[in-house]
Amino acid sequence: MFQLIFIAYVVFVIAASLIPEAGTSIVVYQDKIAHLTAYFVMGVLAWTAVTTMKRKLYLLLSSVLIGVVLEFVQEFVPGRSMDIADAAANTAGVVLAYLVCRFCAEYVGWGTFAPGGKGKSPSGGTE
């Protein structure tokens, strides 16, 4: 179930990133917060989509790569442009998600908050 939610969210982010912009006026800091938030959510979904730490890290790194690549691709989308600061906000969102999820797994007991999580240690391995 978590895997499908993660995939659906990634498809949503890709689609939203590649829609030509219709000249909306967003304050620059609101834009960065939106990027950070969107990729934070993606990072949390990546964390919960799989059980092993190796797979979690793979999905998290893939999320960072998606955020960076989409920023470059936006240069070719009408009404959009590449912004390195957006790519940095995307990356920061995923990194923040990793840190929060890792903290929660270690100290709050999120070790079971993953598919098949019963009997798993917070880092995703078996106890």
Tell me, what DSSP letter sits at residue 115? Answer: T
Number of domains observed in the structure of the chain: 1
In angstroms, the CA 62 to CA 56 distance is: 10
| Structural domain contains residue 78 | yes
Question: For 19-56, what is each residue's pLDDT tens digit?
Answer: 987 666 667 689 999 999 999 999 999 999 999 999 99
What pTM does this model have?
0.82
| Structural domain contains residue 126 | no
Give the length of the chain. Answer: 127
| Structural domain contains residue 120 | no
| Structural domain contains residue 59 | yes
Contacts of 104 (CB under 8 A, 6+ apart): 110, 113
| Structural domain contains residue 68 | yes
Written as one string, the DSSP assignment of 62-112 is: HHHHHHHHHHHHGGGSTT----HHHHHHHHHHHHHHHHHHHHIIIII-GGG
Name the pLDDT band for 115 (thresholds 50, 70, 90).
low
| Structural domain contains residue 19 | no
User: What share of the chain has pLDDT > 90, as a percent?
Assistant: 70
CA 95 to chain centre: 9
| Structural domain contains residue 21 | no
Are 80 and 19 in contact by the 8 Å Cβ rule? The answer is no
Residue 127 is predicted with a pLDDT of 37
Range of the domain at 74: 2-12+28-112
| Structural domain contains residue 80 | yes
What b/e string do you get for 2-21 counting C-beta neighbours within 10 Å, with b at 16 or more? beeebeebbeebeeebeeee
In angstroms, the CA 90 to CA 39 distance is: 5
Residue 110 is predicted with a pLDDT of 72
Residue 17 is predicted with a pLDDT of 93
Mean pLDDT calculated for residue range 100-106: 93
